[in-house]
Amino acid sequence: MSEKVFSNSTFLFLVILIMRGIISHLVRTSFKVDPYRNNHVSLKNLLVLHRSIRTKTFIEDKNYKGLYYHPTCNANYLLSFLSDSDRVNKYAEIAVIGRIPFESDADGNNTPEVTLQNFIENKKFTQFLYQFIAENVGDSDAQLQALAKYYQNGWLHVADARDPVLWGRIPYPEDIFGMVQVKDGQIVQGTYQPMPTHRMITTKGLFILNDPLQKKLLEKLIKLCV
């Protein structure tokens, strides 16, 4: 009886070693084609990750509507506003907001937490986002238009919605996308100036656009990523 138990235990141990070797090989080879890399992942999480990739599943953020986490072979989640994994991978330059490690802590809704410490932004997406805001902010922000009518002339801040401020108050520098000129209560098209102090993520979380601007951004991404 003891010999049978020892034999079964040895067999199981060998199977685990072989599986670890196969998965490690897959992860190492995937690094050659995917720049998003993280080696420190347990065998258990690698198995879960492999199953998620095989079934093309994603995690939808319960607190940030329309934000999706796509697992990759190299143990990272790619953050995107697109739910289609194929599109996200094919058009990663503009479809991927950034990445976080697969072993990031989860919140109460089992959604991976995006923090200052684990988030690595995609610079090309950031450029794309800022250009998009510059081209669309004038006609996509009802609150900004109301402020323009109130102040009549001058410059207005285009604020990040992740940390709303009271009416008329100035947001923190890291929460200001840019500024637009106002003349006679109207936003002057073509006057948008980006704010270099804006941060894609702060202690308050990832950037947030107002609803109309977010809708237009998603429409543009869907149109470009076909």
pLDDT in tens, 14-70: 444 445 554 444 444 333 334 444 444 445 445 445 545 454 578 899 889 999 999
Q: Which two tokens stand for residue 54?
A: 């095989």
pLDDT in tens, 209-225: 999 999 999 999 999 99
Rounded to 5 degrees, φ, ψ at 118 are: -110, -10
- What residues contact residue 41 under an 8 Å CB cut-off, 6+ apart? 27, 49, 75, 101, 102, 103
Task: Return d(Cα 112, Cα 78) in angstroms, integer.
Answer: 11
Please, are residues 139 and 81 in contact by the beta-carbon 8 Å criterion?
Answer: no
Task: Return d(Cα 113, Cα 68) in angstroms, integer.
Answer: 12
Q: Where are the beta strands (DSSP E) in the chain?
A: 59-60, 68-71, 76-80, 98-101, 120-121, 154-159, 176-183, 186-187, 193-194, 201-202, 205-206
Q: Is the pTM higher than 0.85?
A: no
Domain chopping of the chain, boundaries: 2-120, 125-224
Q: Which two tokens stand for residue 161?
A: 């919605």
Task: Return d(Cα 98, Cα 94) in angstroms, integer.
Answer: 10
pLDDT in tens, 173-206: 999 999 999 999 999 988 999 999 999 999 999 9
Angle at 15 between CA 12 and CA 17, to 5 degrees: 110
pLDDT in tens, 134-155: 999 877 778 888 889 999 999 9
The 10 Å Cβ neighbour count of residue 62 is: 12
